């Protein structure tokens, strides 16, 4: 019974959750964008323009080729150190490679081009790679992306490869993301009565031990 009461009191002090969604409704230039309690920062871009509208309204465009669009973006929550990553929408924009000595662009079957990572401090604690495919869909994070302090969305490393008998160089792809949903985990102060409760349990335990010792004598 004592153990159950302690567990209940501790559970009540662990934290409350609040969900936020970044919809990219007001994208503008720069390397940081804040919306609905979520802050997004450009981690990698070739030319250095950062956030800017592109093609599909109210979305964020990512491109792993030599363009001004970001190739990796990180997300965190304002006012809380830890959060759970829930989901985001993927809107494919196309796969392509360039063929050496021909200068032609080739469209090839999809590969696992999207890389998502979860960090707790500087430690990588979650990672997943998947193909963006050809149709829009909602990606759901698995349980390993819980209680993280930073989420990154970007591209898997690409390398030269052979396709259809040609040596292909600079494989690249691009897509838009939308509705990045995170759930903040905010600690709740420990109830003032909890230390007193714990002290009372300690005193009761001590009295019980002394009573048993006296009977034994």
Q: The CATH number of the domain where 66 resides is what?
A: 2.60.120
User: Is residue 6, in this structure, part of any structural domain at all?
Assistant: no
The better pLDDT of the pair 161, 73 is held by 73
Whether residues 116 and 216 fall in one domain: no
User: Is residue 7, in this structure, part of any structural domain at all?
Assistant: no
Average pLDDT across the chain, whole number: 78
**Domain that residue 205 falls in:** 191-217
pLDDT digits (tens, 9 = 90+) for 180-209: 999 999 665 555 555 555 555 555 555 554
User: Is residue 3, in this structure, part of any structural domain at all?
Assistant: no
**How many domains does the chain divide into?**
2
User: Is residue 10, in this structure, part of any structural domain at all?
Assistant: no
Reply yes or no on whether the pLDDT at 3 is more than 60.
no
Whether residues 212 and 158 fall in one domain: no
pLDDT digits (tens, 9 = 90+) for 6-55: 333 333 333 446 799 999 998 877 889 999 999 999 876 656 667 877 77
User: Is residue 103, in this structure, part of any structural domain at all?
Assistant: yes
pLDDT digits (tens, 9 = 90+) for 105-157: 666 667 889 999 999 999 999 999 999 999 999 999 999 999 999 999 999 98
Which tokens is 137 given?
């869909």
């Amino acid at each position: 019974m004592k153990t159950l009461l302690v567990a209940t009191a501790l559970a009540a002090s662990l934290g409350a959750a609040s969900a936020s969604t970044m919809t990219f409704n007001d994208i503008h230039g720069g390397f940081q964008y804040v919306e609905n309690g979520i802050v997004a920062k450009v981690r990698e871009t070739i030319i250095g323009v950062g956030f800017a509208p592109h093609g599909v309204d109210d979305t964020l465009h990512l491109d792993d080729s030599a363009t001004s669009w970001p190739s990796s973006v990180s997300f965190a929550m304002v006012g809380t150190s830890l959060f759970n990553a829930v989901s985001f929408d993927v809107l494919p924009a196309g796969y392509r490679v360039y063929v050496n000595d021909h200068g032609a662009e080739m469209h090839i079957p999809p590969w696992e081009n999207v890389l998502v990572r979860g960090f707790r401090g500087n430690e990588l604690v979650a990672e997943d790679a998947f193909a963006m495919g050809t149709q829009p869909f909602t990606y759901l994070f698995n349980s390993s992306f819980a209680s993280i302090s930073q989420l990154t969305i970007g591209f898997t490393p690409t390398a030269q490869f052979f396709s259809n008998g040609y040596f292909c160089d600079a494989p690249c792809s691009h897509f838009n993301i939308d509705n990045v949903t995170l759930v903040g985990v905010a600690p709740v102060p420990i109830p003032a009565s909890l230390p007193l409760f714990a002290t009372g349990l300690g005193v009761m335990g001590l009295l019980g031990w002394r009573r048993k010792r006296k009977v034994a004598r």
